[in-house]
A and B are shown apart, each in its own frame.
Chain A
Amino acid sequence: MTMSDDNNERRPSRAPLSATMWPVARTTIRTLGSIAVTLLGLLFVTFIIGRVMPIDPVLAIVGERASQATYDAVYQQLGLDKPLIVQFLYYIWDVLHLDFGTSLLNARPVSEDIARVFPATLELATLGIIFGVVLGVPLGVLAAVRKGSWIDQVARVLALVGYSMPIFWLGLMGLLIFYGILGWVGGPGRVGIFYVDVVPSVTGLILVDSIIDGNWDVFRDAFSHIILPASLLGYYSLAYISRMTRSFMLEQLSAEYVTTARVKGMSEWDVIWKHAFKNIRVQLITVIALSYAGLLEGSVLTEIIFSWPGIGSYITTALLSADMNAVLGGTVVVGLIFILLNIFSDLLYKVFDPRAK
């Protein structure tokens, strides 16, 4: 027997509890630390962008015809007379208290606006990614298993169309056909005009709020409005997810352990799902998390075509009217979501891959 064999077998079978607790605590601290550092970097970038933009925040508030005295007063009120580092610390302090300043467009706190528009995007993105995963993953697996068959070709064409068709065209065609001609779905907007503000806003997600309220008419109406944009977004993530699933799966299906499973006498279904699929979960999580993050950023075109009051169109509108507080606030929120999704997928890695522990 070699040395390595010996070492392996003589390792203590159970470590004492304190020794097993430590790594957990250490991992948690390290994770929180990396969140904090990344967030700090993000805030630094948004802060610098806010300062270097050739937009005078004071002028934007007081207007061009204000007196010099008014200008100076507001200048001081905003803390712009202080050194940059102090301003940055103030900025961090404000953001930690969810204070992103006031929107220049409607004079409301940016945080309130985001609390209103973000759930709309969240609802759309979540439904979209569910479509993408539920249909895209099995399609990709099937395309890999039946490589070269008609299913594979159909999946390939679907993905190609998904990659290359611009959403403003597909969205408009969808509206024309399913809303305009067939009348199967609701038109633009989150709900029909009669149902606006009918259910009290608890989560900001209309589908969830209407269930909480038990108002099924609103639920039906909201669902008929969200189904078309969500399917379209889902289709785009399906194109990506199914292609990636296919290539991950092809790699695994040629691995030796798959042959082992067949030698054991397993059915092909079990070989695919119990053995090969378990090995692509980690890679798949990355792909899905990235797609989801992309959707949560808000897809500006989709939101504009479907008059969807989401964060994508909010940030774009703010940007076009030089409403920097709103832009930076939105950017911080989107960045935070990216960080959280990354952490979440890192945690899932550790659950699904014993080698990552």
Chain B
Amino acid sequence: MTTLLDVENLWVRFPTRQGVFDAVRGVSFTLGRERLGIVGESGSGKSMTGRAILRLIRPPGIVEADHINLEGVNLLDKSEKEMRDVRGQRISMVMQDPKFSLNPVMTIGDQIIEAYRLHNSVSKSAAYNKSLEMLEAVSIRDSERVMRAYPHEMSGGMGQRIMIAMMLIPNPEILIADEPTSALDVSVQRQVLDIMDKLVKERGMGLIFISHDLNLVADFCDRVLIMYAGRIVEVCDADKLHDAKHPYTRGLLNSLPRLDAPRNRLEVLQRDPAWSDTPSVSGRE
């Protein structure tokens, strides 16, 4: 499998008054044209990993790595200006809640057209037509009206499909989906995922799917990294997630209720301080 992204020994640090806080501690993994899941609880460093790849960690946060190679070119060597050509055009990101991730005072049309025209020098009308096409690709009917509408007039499911359309319109190679369905109703989650999946497959993209929902990731991804306290504790194929070995993963799985095997008491996750001290498992293929 061709490697799109190769991350080696990634650290994300935040200097605080109490000393340096390490949000991500020496994570390594590769991404091909596949769906890679990153799971973990809040604060495990999964979102920070996604943002560090796009170099979106704002000062005073610090990103360090041996390399973050995008098709062989180290992103850490790029200037901020060169990074702008990577963002959107080559690596893009869909965030958690469309209510907050769309600009409330701009029409949806303007925001999608802007995303396209940043990387393609085309006329406004060409960009407009391309945007309509893209909205239809994410199953939005009445796309002309949606183009004129503002984000607050959309439901969560529509908003997230709009986000996906906006982030995929420059045709990037990698999409980072940071909890893309956590803010949505359960009934529309599946639908949004299916649309995203279809587009990612059609375009042969690599997808990094960040989530805390183990079952969703097991269903949806090819490979899963399980993160704990800024490190990868286990790597496994998604369909073998339920046979995971690491006590943390097992603990997470056991703390989930199951419809087919109801239990009176769910297990509580017992954390072992040793987990956070063991070195990171490599997620390279």
Q: Which A93-140 residues have C-beta < 8 A from chain B?
A: none
Q: Taking CB as reference atom, which chain B residue is nearest A278? A: B105
Contact, CB under 8 Å: A5 / B155: yes
Given A8-B155, A266-B118, A355-B152, residue A279 in contact with residue B105 (CB < 8 A): yes
Nearest CB on B from A87, distance (A) = 50
A69-77, A154-162, A256-264 - interface stretch = A256-264
Q: Kindly state whether residue B74 has any CB partner on chain A within 8 Å.
A: no
Q: Kindly state whether residue A255 has any CB partner on chain B within 8 Å.
A: yes
User: How many pairs of A and B residues are in contact by the CB < 8 Å rule?
Assistant: 96
Q: Kindly state whether residue B154 has any CB partner on chain A within 8 Å.
A: yes
Contact, CB under 8 Å: A2 / B188: yes
Q: Kindly state whether residue A16 has any CB partner on chain B within 8 Å.
A: no
Q: Taking CB as reference atom, which chain A residue is nearest B93? A: A263
Contact with A along B128-142 (1 / 0, CB 8 A): 000000000000111
- Residues on the A chain within 8 Å of B163, using CB: 260
Q: Kindly state whether residue B157 has any CB partner on chain A within 8 Å.
A: yes
Contact, CB under 8 Å: A260 / B101: yes
Given A263-B88, A264-B118, residue A275 in contact with residue B103 (CB < 8 A): yes
Can you report 8 residue pairs joining A to B where beta carbons are below 8 Å apart?
Answer: A1-B157, A5-B188, A8-B155, A256-B96, A260-B95, A265-B85, A268-B80, A278-B105
For the complex, would chain A's binding face be called helix, strand, loop or mixed by DSSP majority? Answer: helix
Q: Which B61-111 residues have C-beta < 8 A from chain A?
A: 80-81, 84-89, 92-93, 95-97, 100-107
- Residues on the A chain within 8 Å of B119, using CB: 265
A262 and B85 alpha carbons, distance in the complex (Å): 11
Closest 8 CB pairs of A and B: A265-B88, A256-B100, A265-B87, A354-B150, A256-B101, A264-B88, A257-B103, A13-B145
- Output the residue of A257, A261, A355 with the most chain B CB within 10 A: A257
Query: Could you list which residues of chain A lie within 8 angstroms of chain B, going by C-beta atoms?
Result: 1-2, 4-5, 8-9, 13, 255-257, 259-268, 275, 278-279, 281, 352-355
Nearest CB on A from B200, distance (A) = 17
Query: Could you list which residues of chain B lie within 8 angstroms of chain A, going by C-beta atoms?
Result: 54, 56, 80-81, 84-89, 92-93, 95-97, 100-107, 114-115, 118-119, 140-142, 144-145, 150, 152-155, 157-158, 163, 166-167, 170, 185, 187-188, 191
- Output the residue of B88, B89, B166, B187 with the most chain A CB within 10 A: B88
A50 and B170 alpha carbons, distance in the complex (Å): 69
Nearest CB on B from A251, distance (A) = 12
Contact, CB under 8 Å: B56 / A263: yes
Contact, CB under 8 Å: A266 / B84: yes
Given A1-B191, A2-B188, A262-B56, residue A257 in contact with residue B93 (CB < 8 A): no
A4 and B187 alpha carbons, distance in the complex (Å): 12
- Residues on the B chain within 8 Å of A355, using CB: 104, 150, 152
Nearest CB on B from A260, distance (A) = 5
- Residues on the A chain within 8 Å of B95, using CB: 256, 259-260
A264 and B95 alpha carbons, distance in the complex (Å): 12
Contact, CB under 8 Å: A264 / B87: yes
Contact, CB under 8 Å: B104 / A257: yes
A275 and B103 alpha carbons, distance in the complex (Å): 7
Given A264-B114, A278-B106, residue A259 in contact with residue B152 (CB < 8 A): no
Contact, CB under 8 Å: B100 / A5: no
Contact, CB under 8 Å: B86 / A259: no
- Output the residue of A8, A263, A268 with the most chain B CB within 10 A: A263
| Choice from B56, B81, B142, B188 contacting A259 with Cβ under 8 Å | B56
Given A8-B155, A9-B141, A259-B95, residue A265 in contact with residue B118 (CB < 8 A): yes
Contact, CB under 8 Å: B87 / A262: yes
Nearest CB on A from B219, distance (A) = 20
Contact, CB under 8 Å: B54 / A263: yes
- Residues on the A chain within 8 Å of B187, using CB: 1-2
A8 and B154 alpha carbons, distance in the complex (Å): 7
Nearest CB on A from B66, distance (A) = 24
A13 and B157 alpha carbons, distance in the complex (Å): 20
Contact, CB under 8 Å: A259 / B105: no
- Output the residue of A260, A262, A264 with the most chain B CB within 10 A: A264
Nearest CB on B from A271, distance (A) = 10
Nearest CB on B from A89, distance (A) = 46
Q: Taking CB as reference atom, which chain B residue is nearest A257? A: B103
- Residues on the A chain within 8 Å of B96, using CB: 256
Q: Taking CB as reference atom, which chain A residue is nearest B95? A: A256
Nearest CB on A from B24, distance (A) = 17
Given A2-B185, A260-B102, A265-B88, residue A9 in contact with residue B142 (CB < 8 A): yes
